[in-house]
Amino acid sequence: MKKILLISQLILSLSIYGQGFELVTLGSDGGVMDGNVSGYLLKGEGDENFIALDAGTILPGIKVGLEKGSFKNTIIPKETEWNDIGYIFREKVKGYLISHAHLDHISGLVISSTEDTKKNIYGLNSTVETMKNNIFNWQIWPNFANEGEGFKLNQYTYKVLDLNKEYVLENTKLKVKTFPLSHSNYESSMFLIENEGDYLAYFGDVGPDKIERTDKLEKTYRALGPLLKNKKIKGIMIEVSFDNSKKDEALFGHLTPMWINKELDILAKYSGIENLEGLNIIITHIKPSLKKNDDMRERIKKELNESNIYKVNYIFPTQGDLLLLK
Ligand SMILES: [Zn+2]
Ligand SMILES: [Zn+2]
Protein backbone atom coordinates (compact mmCIF):
# COMPACT_ATOMS: atom_id res chain seq x y z
CA MET A 1 0.00 0.00 0.00
CA LYS A 2 2.78 2.35 1.05
CA LYS A 3 4.69 1.45 -2.12
CA ILE A 4 1.68 2.21 -4.35
CA LEU A 5 1.26 5.53 -2.60
CA LEU A 6 4.92 6.34 -3.13
CA ILE A 7 4.72 5.46 -6.83
CA SER A 8 1.61 7.55 -7.31
CA GLN A 9 3.29 10.44 -5.49
CA LEU A 10 6.30 10.05 -7.76
CA ILE A 11 4.11 10.14 -10.89
CA LEU A 12 2.33 13.19 -9.52
CA SER A 13 5.57 14.99 -8.80
CA LEU A 14 6.92 14.07 -12.24
CA SER A 15 3.84 15.49 -13.88
CA ILE A 16 4.03 18.67 -11.78
CA TYR A 17 7.75 19.07 -12.25
CA GLY A 18 7.91 17.90 -15.85
CA GLN A 19 10.39 19.35 -18.30
CA GLY A 20 9.91 21.65 -21.24
CA PHE A 21 8.98 25.31 -21.21
CA GLU A 22 6.14 27.80 -21.26
CA LEU A 23 6.74 30.89 -23.35
CA VAL A 24 4.55 34.00 -23.45
CA THR A 25 5.33 36.53 -26.16
CA LEU A 26 5.25 40.08 -24.82
CA GLY A 27 6.60 41.75 -27.94
CA SER A 28 7.00 39.90 -31.22
CA ASP A 29 8.45 42.54 -33.53
CA GLY A 30 11.87 44.08 -34.15
CA GLY A 31 10.42 47.62 -34.50
CA VAL A 32 8.72 49.95 -35.34
CA MET A 33 5.62 50.06 -33.10
CA ASP A 34 6.55 50.74 -29.49
CA GLY A 35 4.39 48.49 -27.36
CA ASN A 36 5.23 45.35 -29.35
CA VAL A 37 9.02 44.95 -29.54
CA SER A 38 11.31 42.09 -28.46
CA GLY A 39 10.27 40.63 -25.14
CA TYR A 40 9.27 37.15 -23.93
CA LEU A 41 8.46 35.50 -20.61
CA LEU A 42 9.87 32.02 -20.12
CA LYS A 43 9.39 29.50 -17.37
CA GLY A 44 10.22 25.87 -16.86
CA GLU A 45 7.17 23.62 -17.05
CA GLY A 46 5.82 23.20 -13.51
CA ASP A 47 7.60 26.31 -12.22
CA GLU A 48 5.73 29.33 -10.91
CA ASN A 49 8.13 32.04 -11.92
CA PHE A 50 9.21 33.60 -15.20
CA ILE A 51 12.39 35.11 -16.51
CA ALA A 52 12.14 37.79 -19.19
CA LEU A 53 14.07 37.17 -22.41
CA ASP A 54 14.81 40.72 -23.48
CA ALA A 55 12.57 43.52 -22.30
CA GLY A 56 11.62 45.78 -25.19
CA THR A 57 7.95 45.43 -24.28
CA ILE A 58 6.77 44.25 -20.86
CA LEU A 59 3.45 45.61 -19.53
CA PRO A 60 1.47 45.91 -22.82
CA GLY A 61 2.48 42.29 -23.56
CA ILE A 62 1.34 41.03 -20.13
CA LYS A 63 -1.97 42.85 -20.71
CA VAL A 64 -2.57 41.14 -24.07
CA GLY A 65 -1.37 37.81 -22.60
CA LEU A 66 -4.00 38.08 -19.85
CA GLU A 67 -6.69 38.87 -22.45
CA LYS A 68 -5.66 35.78 -24.44
CA GLY A 69 -5.70 33.52 -21.35
CA SER A 70 -1.96 32.87 -21.58
CA PHE A 71 -1.42 33.14 -17.82
CA LYS A 72 -3.99 30.48 -16.96
CA ASN A 73 -1.32 28.53 -15.06
CA THR A 74 -0.34 31.54 -12.95
CA ILE A 75 -2.13 31.78 -9.64
CA ILE A 76 -2.99 35.36 -8.67
CA PRO A 77 -3.97 35.57 -5.00
CA LYS A 78 -7.23 37.38 -4.22
CA GLU A 79 -5.71 39.37 -1.35
CA THR A 80 -3.03 41.08 -3.46
CA GLU A 81 -3.27 44.86 -3.71
CA TRP A 82 -2.04 44.70 -7.33
CA ASN A 83 -4.12 44.26 -10.45
CA ASP A 84 -3.39 41.19 -12.60
CA ILE A 85 -0.87 42.98 -14.84
CA GLY A 86 0.89 44.43 -11.80
CA TYR A 87 0.98 41.14 -9.90
CA ILE A 88 2.48 39.12 -12.76
CA PHE A 89 4.99 41.87 -13.52
CA ARG A 90 6.06 42.52 -9.92
CA GLU A 91 5.83 39.06 -8.36
CA LYS A 92 6.15 36.47 -11.14
CA VAL A 93 8.89 37.95 -13.35
CA LYS A 94 12.05 37.24 -11.39
CA GLY A 95 14.72 38.77 -13.62
CA TYR A 96 15.77 39.98 -17.05
CA LEU A 97 18.10 38.24 -19.49
CA ILE A 98 19.19 40.93 -21.91
CA SER A 99 20.78 39.84 -25.21
CA HIS A 100 22.12 43.32 -26.02
CA ALA A 101 21.27 46.83 -24.95
CA HIS A 102 19.63 48.17 -28.11
CA LEU A 103 16.51 50.14 -27.21
CA ASP A 104 14.03 47.70 -28.74
CA HIS A 105 15.33 45.10 -26.23
CA ILE A 106 15.34 47.18 -23.04
CA SER A 107 12.82 50.04 -23.38
CA GLY A 108 9.96 48.22 -21.58
CA LEU A 109 12.20 47.46 -18.61
CA VAL A 110 13.24 51.11 -18.36
CA ILE A 111 9.74 52.59 -18.70
CA SER A 112 8.16 50.19 -16.17
CA SER A 113 11.04 50.36 -13.67
CA THR A 114 9.26 52.84 -11.38
CA GLU A 115 6.67 50.12 -10.56
CA ASP A 116 9.03 47.15 -10.54
CA THR A 117 10.41 45.10 -7.63
CA LYS A 118 13.98 44.07 -6.77
CA LYS A 119 15.36 41.90 -9.59
CA ASN A 120 18.54 40.85 -11.38
CA ILE A 121 19.51 42.07 -14.83
CA TYR A 122 21.64 39.38 -16.48
CA GLY A 123 23.82 40.01 -19.52
CA LEU A 124 27.29 39.95 -21.00
CA ASN A 125 29.70 42.56 -19.67
CA SER A 126 29.20 44.69 -22.82
CA THR A 127 25.42 44.74 -22.27
CA VAL A 128 25.69 45.61 -18.59
CA GLU A 129 28.27 48.34 -19.28
CA THR A 130 26.05 49.92 -21.95
CA MET A 131 23.05 49.99 -19.61
CA LYS A 132 25.17 51.27 -16.74
CA ASN A 133 26.80 54.08 -18.74
CA ASN A 134 24.00 55.08 -21.08
CA ILE A 135 20.64 54.28 -19.50
CA PHE A 136 20.56 54.13 -15.70
CA ASN A 137 22.79 57.20 -15.27
CA TRP A 138 20.44 59.95 -13.98
CA GLN A 139 20.47 61.53 -17.44
CA ILE A 140 18.47 59.17 -19.64
CA TRP A 141 16.79 57.67 -16.54
CA PRO A 142 17.35 57.52 -12.75
CA ASN A 143 19.89 54.94 -11.65
CA PHE A 144 17.64 52.08 -10.56
CA ALA A 145 20.62 49.74 -10.49
CA ASN A 146 23.34 48.85 -7.99
CA GLU A 147 26.30 50.24 -9.94
CA GLY A 148 27.08 53.27 -12.09
CA GLU A 149 26.63 57.04 -11.88
CA GLY A 150 25.36 58.90 -8.82
CA PHE A 151 22.94 57.68 -6.18
CA LYS A 152 22.05 54.02 -6.66
CA LEU A 153 18.43 53.08 -6.07
CA ASN A 154 19.51 49.39 -5.87
CA GLN A 155 16.31 47.97 -7.32
CA TYR A 156 18.20 46.10 -10.03
CA THR A 157 21.36 44.09 -9.50
CA TYR A 158 23.58 43.65 -12.53
CA LYS A 159 24.76 40.08 -12.97
CA VAL A 160 27.54 39.85 -15.54
CA LEU A 161 27.47 36.51 -17.34
CA ASP A 162 30.84 35.03 -18.27
CA LEU A 163 30.96 33.08 -21.51
CA ASN A 164 30.45 29.33 -21.35
CA LYS A 165 29.76 29.35 -17.62
CA GLU A 166 26.44 28.11 -16.36
CA TYR A 167 24.40 30.30 -14.00
CA VAL A 168 21.25 29.64 -12.02
CA LEU A 169 18.58 32.25 -12.74
CA GLU A 170 17.58 33.15 -9.20
CA ASN A 171 14.07 32.22 -7.99
CA THR A 172 13.42 30.06 -11.05
CA LYS A 173 14.25 26.48 -12.03
CA LEU A 174 16.21 27.69 -15.03
CA LYS A 175 19.94 27.82 -15.73
CA VAL A 176 21.69 29.74 -18.51
CA LYS A 177 24.88 29.56 -20.54
CA THR A 178 25.79 32.51 -22.78
CA PHE A 179 27.44 32.62 -26.21
CA PRO A 180 28.53 35.84 -27.98
CA LEU A 181 26.99 36.86 -31.32
CA SER A 182 27.94 39.49 -33.87
CA HIS A 183 25.24 42.06 -34.66
CA SER A 184 26.71 44.50 -37.17
CA ASN A 185 29.99 44.36 -35.22
CA TYR A 186 28.12 45.08 -31.99
CA GLU A 187 28.06 42.29 -29.37
CA SER A 188 24.79 40.43 -28.93
CA SER A 189 24.19 37.06 -27.25
CA MET A 190 22.64 33.64 -27.48
CA PHE A 191 21.23 32.27 -24.23
CA LEU A 192 21.11 28.50 -23.88
CA ILE A 193 18.54 27.96 -21.15
CA GLU A 194 18.13 24.67 -19.32
CA ASN A 195 15.20 23.25 -17.42
CA GLU A 196 16.15 19.88 -15.92
CA GLY A 197 17.87 18.52 -19.01
CA ASP A 198 15.64 20.25 -21.59
CA TYR A 199 16.95 23.27 -23.46
CA LEU A 200 15.77 26.37 -25.27
CA ALA A 201 18.13 28.50 -27.37
CA TYR A 202 17.31 32.21 -27.51
CA PHE A 203 19.26 34.18 -30.10
CA GLY A 204 19.41 37.95 -29.75
CA ASP A 205 19.79 40.04 -32.90
CA VAL A 206 22.42 38.50 -35.15
CA GLY A 207 23.84 38.75 -38.66
CA PRO A 208 25.16 35.87 -40.80
CA ASP A 209 28.75 34.84 -40.03
CA LYS A 210 29.67 35.32 -43.67
CA ILE A 211 28.65 38.98 -43.67
CA GLU A 212 29.80 39.71 -40.13
CA ARG A 213 33.13 37.99 -40.96
CA THR A 214 33.09 35.81 -37.86
CA ASP A 215 32.40 32.23 -36.74
CA LYS A 216 30.29 33.09 -33.71
CA LEU A 217 27.05 31.61 -35.04
CA GLU A 218 28.86 28.46 -36.11
CA LYS A 219 30.23 28.09 -32.58
CA THR A 220 26.68 28.15 -31.21
CA TYR A 221 25.68 25.41 -33.69
CA ARG A 222 28.60 23.33 -32.51
CA ALA A 223 27.20 23.56 -28.97
CA LEU A 224 23.61 22.88 -30.08
CA GLY A 225 24.48 19.90 -32.34
CA PRO A 226 24.86 17.20 -29.67
CA LEU A 227 21.77 18.45 -27.82
CA LEU A 228 19.75 18.27 -31.05
CA LYS A 229 20.99 14.73 -31.65
CA ASN A 230 19.65 13.78 -28.23
CA LYS A 231 16.35 15.61 -28.83
CA LYS A 232 17.02 17.88 -25.87
CA ILE A 233 16.29 21.17 -27.65
CA LYS A 234 12.63 22.11 -27.26
CA GLY A 235 12.86 25.32 -29.25
CA ILE A 236 15.20 27.70 -31.02
CA MET A 237 14.19 31.36 -31.00
CA ILE A 238 15.89 33.28 -33.76
CA GLU A 239 15.33 36.51 -35.59
CA VAL A 240 14.23 37.10 -39.17
CA SER A 241 14.08 40.88 -39.44
CA PHE A 242 13.58 41.23 -43.20
CA ASP A 243 12.28 39.30 -46.20
CA ASN A 244 14.50 38.07 -49.01
CA SER A 245 14.35 41.35 -50.92
CA LYS A 246 16.78 42.89 -48.41
CA LYS A 247 20.27 43.22 -49.88
CA ASP A 248 23.17 41.80 -47.85
CA GLU A 249 24.81 45.24 -47.56
CA ALA A 250 21.62 46.61 -45.97
CA LEU A 251 21.17 43.85 -43.35
CA PHE A 252 22.99 45.67 -40.52
CA GLY A 253 23.41 42.53 -38.44
CA HIS A 254 20.11 40.78 -39.12
CA LEU A 255 18.81 37.64 -40.90
CA THR A 256 16.41 36.90 -43.78
CA PRO A 257 14.66 33.61 -44.73
CA MET A 258 17.40 32.96 -47.31
CA TRP A 259 20.06 33.36 -44.63
CA ILE A 260 18.11 31.16 -42.17
CA ASN A 261 18.28 28.39 -44.76
CA LYS A 262 22.03 28.81 -45.11
CA GLU A 263 22.41 28.79 -41.33
CA LEU A 264 20.30 25.59 -41.10
CA ASP A 265 22.71 23.94 -43.57
CA ILE A 266 25.49 24.49 -41.04
CA LEU A 267 23.34 23.48 -38.06
CA ALA A 268 22.46 20.25 -39.96
CA LYS A 269 26.16 19.54 -40.31
CA TYR A 270 26.58 19.52 -36.52
CA SER A 271 23.33 17.83 -35.58
CA GLY A 272 22.43 15.51 -38.49
CA ILE A 273 19.77 16.45 -41.03
CA GLU A 274 17.23 14.01 -39.60
CA ASN A 275 17.42 15.68 -36.19
CA LEU A 276 16.10 18.96 -37.53
CA GLU A 277 12.78 17.55 -38.70
CA GLY A 278 9.97 18.90 -36.51
CA LEU A 279 12.34 21.15 -34.56
CA ASN A 280 10.48 24.17 -33.15
CA ILE A 281 12.00 27.31 -34.63
CA ILE A 282 10.33 30.38 -33.22
CA ILE A 283 10.74 33.41 -35.44
CA THR A 284 11.33 36.69 -33.63
CA HIS A 285 12.11 40.33 -34.44
CA ILE A 286 10.16 40.75 -37.70
CA LYS A 287 10.34 44.41 -38.70
CA PRO A 288 6.88 45.52 -39.81
CA SER A 289 6.41 47.59 -42.94
CA LEU A 290 4.41 50.81 -42.86
CA LYS A 291 3.68 50.66 -46.59
CA LYS A 292 0.12 50.17 -47.82
CA ASN A 293 -0.94 46.53 -48.36
CA ASP A 294 2.51 45.31 -47.34
CA ASP A 295 2.60 42.52 -44.72
CA MET A 296 6.19 41.69 -43.86
CA ARG A 297 5.16 38.94 -41.41
CA GLU A 298 3.11 37.12 -44.07
CA ARG A 299 5.89 37.46 -46.62
CA ILE A 300 8.54 36.07 -44.27
CA LYS A 301 6.19 33.20 -43.32
CA LYS A 302 5.69 32.34 -46.97
CA GLU A 303 9.38 32.53 -47.84
CA LEU A 304 10.37 30.30 -44.91
CA ASN A 305 7.64 27.71 -45.41
CA GLU A 306 8.22 27.48 -49.17
CA SER A 307 11.91 26.68 -48.72
CA ASN A 308 11.67 24.45 -45.65
CA ILE A 309 13.87 21.59 -46.88
CA TYR A 310 14.70 20.35 -43.37
CA LYS A 311 10.99 20.22 -42.44
CA VAL A 312 11.45 22.25 -39.27
CA ASN A 313 8.38 23.54 -37.45
CA TYR A 314 8.35 27.31 -37.92
CA ILE A 315 6.29 29.17 -35.31
CA PHE A 316 5.36 32.84 -35.62
CA PRO A 317 3.96 33.92 -32.26
CA THR A 318 2.26 37.29 -31.92
CA GLN A 319 1.87 39.44 -28.83
CA GLY A 320 0.25 37.67 -25.88
CA ASP A 321 0.48 34.14 -27.34
CA LEU A 322 1.35 31.21 -25.08
CA LEU A 323 3.56 28.43 -26.45
CA LEU A 324 4.14 25.12 -24.70
CA LEU A 325 7.48 23.73 -25.80
CA LYS A 326 7.89 20.06 -24.91
ZN1 LIG B 1 16.51 44.49 -32.09
ZN1 LIG C 1 19.84 45.12 -32.06
Supply the CATH number for residue 196's domain. Answer: 3.60.15.10
Residues of the domain holding 292: 20-325
**Selection from 295, 314, 99 nearest residue 192 by Cα:** 99
Q: Is residue 8 part of a domain?
A: no
Domain assignment of residue 79, yes or no: yes
User: pLDDT tens-digit profile of 279-317?
Assistant: 999 999 999 999 999 999 999 999 999 999 999 999 999
Contacts with 93 (C-beta within 8 Å, 6 or more apart), sequence order: 41, 49, 50, 51, 52, 58, 119
> Residue 113 pLDDT more than 90?
yes
CB 178 within 8 A of CB 190: yes
| Sequence-separated (6 or more) residues with CB below 8 Å from residue 284 | 28, 30, 38, 40, 203, 237, 238, 239, 240
HSE of 308, CA atoms in CB hemisphere, 13 A: 18
What pLDDT sits at residue 19? 82
For residue 216, report the distance from its CA to the centre of ligand 1, in Å.
18
Ligand 2: centre distance to CA 102 (Å): 5
Share of the chain above pLDDT 70, in %: 94
- How many C-beta atoms lie closer than 10 Å to residue 67's C-beta? 10
Ligand 1 centroid to residue 26 C-alpha, Å: 14
Ligand 2 centroid to residue 315 C-alpha, Å? 21
CA distance 98 to 157: 13
| pLDDT value of position 103 | 98
In a domain, 2, yes or no: no
Give 232-250 pLDDT, tens digit per residue: 999 999 999 999 999 999 9
The mean pLDDT of the chain is 95
In a domain? residue 5 = no
Rounded to an integer, the average pLDDT of 23-42 is: 97
Q: Give domain status of residue 226, yes or no.
A: yes
Ligand sitting nearest the alpha carbon of 31: 1
Question: Which ligand has its closest atom nearest to the C-alpha of 207?
Answer: 2
Q: Residues 239, 288: contact at Cβ < 8 Å?
A: no
pLDDT in tens, 53-65: 999 999 999 999 9
| Inside any domain, residue 170 | yes
Q: Mean per-residue pLDDT for 143-170? A: 97
- Please tell me the predicted confidence (pLDDT) of residue 320: 98
Instruction: Report which bound ligand comes closest to the CA of 184.
Output: 2
- The predicted-structure confidence for 162-219, as pLDDT tens digits, reads as follows 998 999 999 999 999 999 999 999 999 999 999 999 999 999 999 999 999 999 999 9
Distance 56 CA to ligand 1 centre (A): 9
Distance from the alpha carbon of residue 208 to the mean position of ligand 2, in angstroms = 14
Local confidence band at 143 (pLDDT 50, 70, 90 cut-offs): very high
pLDDT at 9: 47
pLDDT at 230: 97
Residue 78 burial (CB count, 10 A) = 4
Does residue 12 lie in a domain region?
Answer: no
Ligand nearest to the CA of 183: 2
Q: Is 152 exposed, middle or buried (0-12, 13-18, 19+ CB in 10 A)?
A: middle
Within 10 angstroms of residue 308's Cβ, the number of other Cβ atoms is 17
Dist. CA 192 → ligand 2 center (Å)? 19
Which of 17-21, 87-91, 197-201, 310-314 has the weakest average pLDDT?
Answer: 17-21
Ion ligand 2: residue ranges with CB closer than 5 A: 102, 205
Q: Which residues pair with 188 in a beta bridge?
A: 181
| 289 in any annotated domain | yes
State in Å: Cα 161 to ligand 2 middle: 19
Number of structural domains in the chain: 1
